[in-house]
Amino acid sequence: MSDDKTFESCMAGLETFKASKFLMVVFGGAGDLCQKKLLPTLFLLFKKGFIEDFTILGFGLPEMSTDEYRKQAKIWLQENIKEQFDEKIYLKFQEHLLFETADLKKAENYSNLCKRITEITKDDPAYNLMYYLAVPPFLFPTIVHNLSDKELCRRRKGAKIIVEKPFGHDRKSAHALNLKLLEAFDENQIYRIDHYLGKETVQNVFFFRFGNVLFEPLWNRNYIDNIQITVAEDLGIENRADFYENATVIRDFVQNHILQLIALIAMEPPANFSQESIRNERQKVFNSIQAFDEKKIDDLVVMGQYEAGEVNDKKVAGYLDEKGVAKDSKVPTYIAAKFFIDNWRWAGVPFYIRTGKRLKKRCTEIAIQFKYPPLRLLGHKCKDLDANTIVFSIYPTQKVSLNFNVKFPGMDNIPYPVDMVFDYKSVFKVDTPLAYERVLIDAMKSDLSLFARQDGIETMWSIVDPIIKAWEKKKTLCKYKAGCRGPKEADDFIKKDKRAWRIF
């Protein structure tokens, strides 16, 4: 099949997708998550024609009517999707929006919810019923208990519950939350969302590895020297001190997003493309990650906190001066760590990760660095030969690049590093969908491939719990100025291994 025909075939398959009719009950339908992520995603799916027959029922506080909710939703969309907002399309979209004022802690409000669900669905079993928990985690058990009490969970055919992170604050709390969910729902009804797995470049790690015979034979300890995962943010905590003082950078990013990225890079080929086969292989990676010894944690982890500095030519406050942060807070806003996977494929290969707030710029990438050639066959001028590297750039650009060495033109034998680049926008001429678009569509399709499973959540917590415990005991942090690439100690940390961080 020609390239043009392949492209046309793929686009046709995408454009013909239509979600079956559904009702999404959004607990916290007027909250921050719904304003910035959920409603914009649903609007874009409607604009693209992926959803047509549906109802979004916001359920929670503050008190407002459906008309008021629709007016607010318009403002939220204009603020968050800007030029993608379309007034004419919104007039149609708003007809699908309803709001029910409710204190989520009061059981009597769930009787009203039960009535509203019956009014909307008319008990039609063809309705795809989804509960989206866009609320703080402490409300999860209360909501689940009340839904179960009204027989709106396991006994409701086709019902699903979508749960946002953080899923607990350690392994013990995550296990308790899982038990609470499983009292009311079956595991295949529970969608623990991690939007990072919905990002196009992240998904392409899977296709890059298993869709090309060229790379998979090299994807092991025999050829790969190290792997670096960078998730750098130039923003601070953005008025979320209450959340961040409890979450820290470890719970906010490492326990979920970064460990999922490690699993995607390191997993074995699944037996097939089924959701359980894929999730089983990710779980095997989690089970194989070397446990952190608290006594040796300082050799494997560096944590820091940002001070006042300058980001994007603008002076910014240090973490301790952020609104709502305790003046003596020892909460880390940066972490660099080294993970090992104890299996045949990856034994001895370090997985370096770093993530933090108020860094030089926003950058998310996965870099696979291969080993150097065993002999310097090209002479003394080639002593600084660059190692081959495959880079999956997730932000700010979405691309995959392969770095290799060529001869520089001229009479001398001088090596020169070059990149072969696949860029999404230049190849496909379309904007890549938001990560939430993909995961919501998968939830509508009952595809759990990109969602975390009970055992995965608990194992990921068991991996990071020793880091959290070590920090809670010592609470020693390296300081770094806002606008830099992280603390000096993080550079020293990787230099000890005779390696260096990639520059972002």
Residue 5: predicted pLDDT: 61
Helices (H), 325-453: 424-428, 435-444
Angle, helix 108-121 to helix 140-149, in steps of 10 degrees:
60
d(CA 337, CA 305) in angstroms, rounded, equals: 15
pLDDT truncated to tens, each residue of the chain (504 aa)? 456 665 555 555 555 678 999 999 999 999 999 999 999 999 999 999 999 999 999 999 999 999 999 999 999 999 999 999 999 999 999 999 999 999 999 999 999 999 999 999 998 888 999 999 999 888 999 999 999 999 989 888 889 999 988 899 999 999 999 999 999 999 999 999 998 888 888 988 999 999 999 999 999 999 999 999 999 999 999 888 988 998 899 999 999 999 999 999 999 999 998 999 999 999 999 999 999 998 889 999 999 999 999 999 999 999 999 999 999 999 999 999 999 999 999 999 999 999 999 999 999 999 999 998 877 666 666 566 789 999 999 999 999 999 998 888 987 778 888 999 999 888 888 777 888 999 999 999 999 999 999 999 999 999 999 999 999 988 889 999 999 999 999 999 999 999 999 999
The confidence score (pLDDT) of residue 382 equals 58
Homologous superfamily of 197-435+448-495 in CATH?
Dihydrodipicolinate Reductase; domain 2 (3.30.360.10)
- Residue 16 confidence (pLDDT): 65
With left for phi above 0 and alpha for psi between -120 and 50, is residue 10 left, alpha or beta? alpha
Cβ-in-10-Å burial (0-12, 13-18, 19+) of 1 comes to exposed
Q: List CB contacts of 201: < 8 A, sequence separation 6 or more.
A: 392, 393, 394, 398, 399, 400, 424
Strands (E), 408-475: 415-423
Q: Of 101, 3, 2, 84, nearest to 46 (Cα)?
A: 84
With vertex at residue 266, the alpha carbon angle to CA 263 and CA 268, rounded to the nearest 5 degrees, is: 105
19/49 Cα distance (integer angstroms)? 9
Locus of tokens 């990787």 = 494
Residue ranges matching CATH 3.30.360.10 in the chain: 197-435+448-495
* Phi, psi dihedrals of residue 133, rounded to the nearest 5°: -90, 85
Cα three-residue angle 79-432-449, rounded to 5 degrees: 105
CA–CA dist 448, 188 (Å, integer)? 8
Strand pairing report for 363-370 and 224-232: antiparallel
Q: What is the dihedral of CA 289, 293, 298, 302, to 10 degrees?
A: 30
Residues belonging to the active site: 257
First to last CA, the chain: 39
Which DSSP string do the residues of 267-318 spell out, in sequence order? PPPPSSSSHHHHHHHHHHHHHHBPPPPGGGGGGTEEEEEEESEEETTEEE--
CA-wise closest residue to 476 among 330, 328, 306: 330
What does the pLDDT read at residue 351?
98
Query: What is the model's pLDDT at position 383?
Result: 61
What residues contact residue 287 under an 8 Å CB cut-off, 6+ apart?
459
What CATH number should be reported for the domain whose range is 3-164?
A: 3.40.50.720
Query: How high is the pLDDT of residue 1?
Result: 46
Q: Where in the chain is the domain with CATH 3.40.50.720?
A: 3-164
Per-residue 3-state assignment (H helix, E strand, C coil) for 306-362: EECEEECCEEECCHHHCCCCCCCCCCCCEEEEEECECCCCCCCCCEEEEEECCCCCC
Structural tokens at position 248: 């820290």
Strands 301-307 and 224-232, bridge-based pairing? unpaired
